[in-house]
């Protein structure tokens, strides 16, 4: 029997954007980048780890279908298609103007849960540990609650055996192996390892695939069902005042020595 | 809802002792409760809570919900959630606070969904406004931006970052009430199982508690300095060793050394950073450091905006001389 895996993936502004390129629209409570910096959107890094986790299960078990699911107001198709070029089978995009700049995880989780139900059967949902825009780390936990299934967060290895998902995770000094009955939600972190590069064959196959696109109406979701639970009052870029004293010397070694003397003078060492 | 009242901290207990992050949450909670003029309570969960309830009162709680059940012996999310949901439903707090960490970050959002409300994630600061609404200040976009967020749901909930406030001074003569509660959990609530659990012995000083931390980044070029120069310096200063994610992803040192947004939060008196660029996601884990010292080859590196003292130079030349001088001064 085919194992159905859904991987959630969010399109975000490249989080490695240099700090100086960030701009904030204080009225709209929206983060943007300096247009001249030409920051490209990317798939949230931890979600690429999620796609990789799903494809490793597919490599091992073969009879596996991987569906990528995303929700947003607008998508850059070249960016989202990477998830297909890596080797995923299908893609479902929930695209609706009402999903513009949503930072309230309760809304996103409800939308994704409705989409999962419309997709129909699933055995495993793999998500990233957090989306690098609002850093909420809540949507997967909400998905698990709304779908009434177990959730194993922050994993670095995901295997499926006999209708069980078996995960490794490390928190602090503790290394754990945790298992749960399918269906289940797991979240992955970067320790899972580098996501694979798309092969030429998969890029060609992905080019021919058309994502399924649904609106909120298609999911039967009304505005009332998506009433916000949080309100953003302000959004701003914190001011930093540099007060760095640069320590120099005759050469770099001398500067190192002077640094030690400085720290002693300041009673820090 | 008019009858919601008070502030409830979800506490954490280990070996019959209150977790340090819980004493910090009690200090945050005390401030909120005082501005609401309502009581501060804490829920403690376990099979045996030892001296933790008394400790919680000494650190500021008015009331302790001592929640005991055989299924709460070890932390298991489903059992914890089932028990805490019962406490929250019975006592209808106005505000619920949890500490960011393996437990709070897992329990907080799930409890919020179960109660059909939302939690403000990763707050550096929480307060009550004139309308008795909870307001949190939190970093977003990897720490590049800050958001001020208020709750529209009930109860109003926040997850607060550790090391954002000092615990109150312990006062063992403070009065408070301990209320025992048996949630009578059914084993069937438990949906995930720990198959294996290995706790690595702590080598040297714990990163989160260290007074001095020496960290290395991608600029070190290889794993070798972590067992040579960085280790020598850390040993000399009695410091813990930290690292950037770039270094951890490269496998130069194990993941438990990572400092940052998705690593550990540290608050040392002195933080020495070698070959780390100062990306906001790294700085998110060390913003509470008192003094930052940076050694970086690039005089334009953003880390020099956060550092108090800096050397623009190649660590291969700067660090040995720095170590030698520190040794000479011992
Ligand atoms: C969602 C998300 C979460 C993240 N979480 C974390 C986190 O928790 N912790 C974390 O650290 N990062 C995190 N990151 C990654 C972060 O954005 C940076 O990529 C990372 O911190 C960079 O590490 P680095 O400074 O070691 O490497 P680089 O940015 O490559 O910097 C290397 C520095 O070394 C200097 N250098 C090079 N050679 C020398 C030399 N010979 N002598 C002296 N200096 C030299 C260079 O000038 C440069 O400044 C996260 C990213 C994302 C998207
Ligand atoms: N709009 C979205 N579309 C698809 N997946 C999402 C979306 N928002 C969040 N997720 C998933 O949930 C994870 C955690 O996101 P968050 O809770 O927003 O930090 C992400 O890594 C994604 O896998």
**ipTM for the complex?**
0.96
Closest-approaching ligand to the CA atom of A92: 2
Q: If you take atom 51 of ligand 1, which residue's CA is the nearest one? A: B281
Q: What are phi and psi of B296, to 5 degrees?
A: -150, 135
Task: Report B:120-149 residues touching A (Cβ under 8 A).
Answer: 120-122, 135, 139-142, 144-149
Say if residues A138 and B109 touch (Cβ distance below 8 Å): yes
Terminal-to-terminal C-alpha distance of chain A: 64
Q: Which of B117, B193, B311 has the CB atom closest to A255's CB atom?
A: B311
CB of B215 closer than 6 A to ligand 1? Answer: no
CB spacing of B113 vs A146 below 8 angstroms: yes
Atom of ligand 1 nearest to the CA of B277: 49
Residues 6+ apart with CB under 8 A from A84: A68, A90, A91, A202, A205, A206, A209
Say if residues B274 and B216 touch (Cβ distance below 8 Å): yes
Say if residues A70 and A93 touch (Cβ distance below 8 Å): yes
Residue B206 pLDDT > 70: yes
Closest-approaching ligand to the CA atom of B113: 2
Q: CB of B35 within 8 Å of any CB in chain A?
A: no
Helix (H) or strand (E) holding B248: helix B245-249
Q: How many residues does chain A have?
A: 269
Give the residue among B102, B252, B179 at the shortest CA–CA distance from A170. B102
Residue-wise pLDDT for A189-201, tens only, equals 999 999 999 999 9
C-alpha separations of A260 from A90, A255, B296, B324, B327 in Å: 58, 9, 16, 9, 10
| CATH architecture for residues B207-329 | 3-Layer(aba) Sandwich (3.40)
Residue B42 pLDDT > 70: yes
| pLDDT confidence of residue B284 | 94
Q: Which residue has the tokens 């012996």?
A: B73
Mean pLDDT of all residues in A68-79:
97
Chain B: residue nearest A156 by CA?
Answer: B255
Residue-wise pLDDT for B130-189, tens only, equals 999 999 999 999 999 999 999 999 999 999 999 999 999 999 999 999 999 999 999 999
Contacts made by residues A19-24, CB under 8 angstroms, sequence distance 24+: A19/B144, A19/B280, A19/B302, A22/A237, A22/B141, A22/B144, A22/B145, A23/A237, A24/A235, A24/A236, A24/A237, A24/B145
3-state SS track over A3-15: EEEEEECCEEECC
Q: What are phi and psi of B119, to 5 degrees?
A: -120, 140
Chain A: residue nearest B137 by CA?
Answer: A234
Task: Report B:203-242 residues touching A (Cβ under 8 A).
Answer: 212, 237
Higher pLDDT residue, A224 or B327? B327
CB spacing of A235 vs B249 below 8 angstroms: no
CB spacing of B311 vs A263 below 8 angstroms: no
CA dist B276 and B40 (Å) reads: 42
Residue A76 pLDDT > 70: yes
Peptide bond into B155 cis (omega under 30): yes
Closest-approaching ligand to the CA atom of A91: 2
CA dist A157 and A191 (Å) reads: 8
CB spacing of A174 vs B197 below 8 angstroms: yes
Residue-wise pLDDT for B66-96, tens only, equals 999 999 999 999 999 999 999 999 999 999 9
Structure tokens at A243: 């007060």
DSSP code for B259 = B
Residue-wise pLDDT for B232-275, tens only, equals 999 999 999 999 999 999 999 999 999 999 999 999 999 999 99
| pLDDT confidence of residue A171 | 83
Average pLDDT, chain A: 96
Beta-bridge partner residues of A231:
B150
Chain A: residue nearest B327 by CA?
Answer: A260
| pLDDT confidence of residue A225 | 85
Residues with CB under 6 A from ligand 2: A 8-10, 44, 46-47, 50, 70-72, 105, 108, 127-128, 130-131, 134, 136-140
Q: How many residues does chain B have?
A: 330
C-alpha separations of A199 from A82, A196, B91, B129 in Å: 11, 9, 57, 55
Say if residues B237 and B326 touch (Cβ distance below 8 Å): yes
Q: Which of B153, B279, B321 has the CB atom closest to A256's CB atom?
A: B321
Average pLDDT, chain B: 96
Share of chain B above pLDDT 90, in %: 95
| pLDDT confidence of residue A37 | 83
Higher pLDDT residue, A18 or A165? A165
Residue-wise pLDDT for B48-60, tens only, equals 999 999 999 999 9
Say if residues B12 and B103 touch (Cβ distance below 8 Å): yes
CB spacing of B304 vs A136 below 8 angstroms: no
CA dist B277 and B102 (Å) reads: 27
Higher pLDDT residue, B206 or A49? A49
Give the residue among B4, B5, B8, B13 at the shortest CA–CA distance from B157. B8
Beta-bridge partner residues of A94:
A71, A214
Coil, helix or strand for B318?
A: helix
Residue B109: pLDDT band by 50, 70, 90 thresholds?
very high
Separation in Å, CA of A208 to nearest CA in chain B: 34
Mean pLDDT of all residues in A123-130:
98
Residue B201 pLDDT > 70: yes
Say if residues B253 and B227 touch (Cβ distance below 8 Å): no
CA dist A126 and B35 (Å) reads: 42
- pTM for this prediction: 0.96
| Burial track A108-141 (b if 16+ CB lie within 10 A, e otherwise) | bbbbbbbbbeebeebbbbbbbbbbbbbbbbbbbb
Specify the fold of B7-189: Rossmann fold (3.40.50)
Residue B2: pLDDT band by 50, 70, 90 thresholds?
low
Say if residues A46 and A190 touch (Cβ distance below 8 Å): yes
Residues 6+ apart with CB under 8 A from B38: B5, B6, B7, B94
Residue B1 pLDDT > 70: no
Q: Assign residue A21 a region: left if phi > 0, alpha if psi is -120 to 50, beta otherwise?
A: alpha
Mean pLDDT of all residues in A212-239:
94
Task: Report B:250-289 residues touching A (Cβ under 8 A).
Answer: 255-256, 261-262, 269-270, 279-281
CB spacing of A135 vs B139 below 8 angstroms: yes
Sign for the pseudo-dihedral over CA of B284, B271, B299, B254? negative
Sign for the pseudo-dihedral over CA of B18, B24, B29, B30? positive
Domain ranges of chain B: 7-189, 207-329
Atom of ligand 2 nearest to the CA of A127: 23
| pLDDT confidence of residue A115 | 98
Domains present along chain A, CATH in parentheses? 3-226 (3.40.50.620), 239-269 (no CATH)
B207-329 and B7-189 share a CATH fold: yes
CB spacing of A173 vs B256 below 8 angstroms: yes
Residue B299: pLDDT band by 50, 70, 90 thresholds?
very high
Say if residues A242 and B304 touch (Cβ distance below 8 Å): yes
Mean pLDDT of all residues in A148-166:
97
DSSP per residue, A69-132: EEEES---HHHHTHHHHTT-SEEEEEE-GGGTT---HHHHHHHHHHHHHHH---SEEEEES--T
Structure tokens at B72: 């709460």
């Amino acid at each position: 029997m085919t194992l159905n895996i859904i991987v959630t993936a969010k399109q975000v502004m490249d989080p490695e954007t240099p700090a100086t390129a960030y701009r904030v629209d204080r009225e709209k409570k929206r983060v943007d980048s300096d247009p001249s910096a030409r920051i490209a959107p990317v798939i949230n890094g931890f979600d690429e780890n999620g796609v990789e986790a799903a494809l490793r299960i597919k490599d091992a078990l073969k009879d596996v279908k991987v569906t990528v699911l995303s929700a947003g107001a607008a998508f850059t198709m070249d960016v989202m298609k990477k998830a297909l070029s890596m080797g995923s089978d299908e893609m479902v995009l929930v695209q609706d103007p009402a999903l513009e700049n949503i930072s309230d995880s309760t809304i996103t989780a409800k939308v994704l849960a409705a989409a999962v139900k419309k997709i129909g059967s699933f055995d495993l949902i793999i998500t990233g540990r957090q989306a690098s825009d609002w850093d909420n780390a809540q949507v997967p936990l909400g998905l698990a609650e709304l779908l009434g299934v177990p959730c194993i967060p922050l994993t670095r290895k995901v295997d499926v055996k006999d209708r069980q998902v078996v995960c490794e995770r490390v928190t602090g000094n503790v290394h754990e192996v945790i298992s749960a009955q399918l269906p289940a939600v797991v979240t992955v972190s970067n320790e899972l390892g580098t996501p694979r590069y798309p092969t030429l064959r998969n890029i060609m196959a992905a080019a021919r695939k058309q994502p399924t696109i649904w609106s909120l109406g298609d999911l039967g979701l009304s505005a009332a069902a998506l009433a916000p639970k949080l309100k953003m009052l302000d959004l701003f870029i914190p001011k930093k005042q540099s007060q760095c004293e640069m320590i120099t010397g005759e050469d770099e070694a001398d500067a190192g020595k002077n640094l030690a003397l400085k720290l002693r003078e300041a009673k820090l060492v | 809802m008019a009858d919601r009242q008070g502030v409830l901290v979800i506490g954490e207990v280990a070996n019959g002792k209150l977790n340090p992050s819980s004493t910090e949450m009690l200090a945050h909670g005390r401030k909120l409760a005082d501005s609401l003029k309502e009581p501060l309570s804490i829920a403690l969960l376990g099979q045996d809570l030892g001296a933790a309830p008394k400790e919680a009162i000494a650190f500021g709680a008015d009331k302790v919900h001592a929640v005991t059940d055989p299924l709460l012996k070890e932390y298991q999310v489903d059992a914890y959630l089932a028990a805490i949901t019962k406490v929250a439903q019975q006592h209808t707090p106005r505000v619920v606070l949890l500490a960011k960490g393996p437990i709070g970050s897992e329990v907080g959002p799930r409890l919020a969904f179960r109660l059909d409300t939302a939690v403000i994630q990763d707050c550096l600061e929480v307060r009550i406004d004139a309308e008795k609404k909870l307001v949190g200040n939190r970093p977003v976009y990897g720490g590049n931006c800050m958001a001020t967020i208020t709750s529209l749901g009930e109860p109003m909930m926040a997850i607060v970052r550790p090391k954002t406030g000092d615990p109150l001074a312990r006062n063992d003569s403070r009065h408070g009430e301990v209320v025992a509660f048996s949630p009578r959990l059914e084993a069937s609530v438990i949906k995930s199982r720990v198959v294996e659990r290995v706790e690595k012995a702590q080598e040297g000083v714990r990163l989160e508690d260290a007074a001095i931390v020496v960290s290395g980044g991608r600029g070190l070029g290889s794993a070798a300095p972590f067992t040579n120069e960085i280790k020598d310096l850390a040993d000399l200063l009695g410091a813990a060793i930290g690292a950037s994610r770039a270094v951890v992803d490269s496998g130069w040192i194990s993941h438990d050394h990572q400092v940052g947004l998705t690593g550990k939060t540290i608050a040392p008196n002195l933080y020495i950073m070698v070959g780390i660029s100062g990306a906001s996601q790294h700085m998110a884990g060390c913003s509470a450091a008192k003094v930052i010292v940076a050694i970086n080859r690039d005089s334009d590196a953003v880390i020099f905006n956060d550092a108090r003292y800096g050397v623009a130079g190649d660590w291969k030349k700067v660090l040995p001389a720095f170590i030698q001088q520190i040794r000479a001064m011992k």
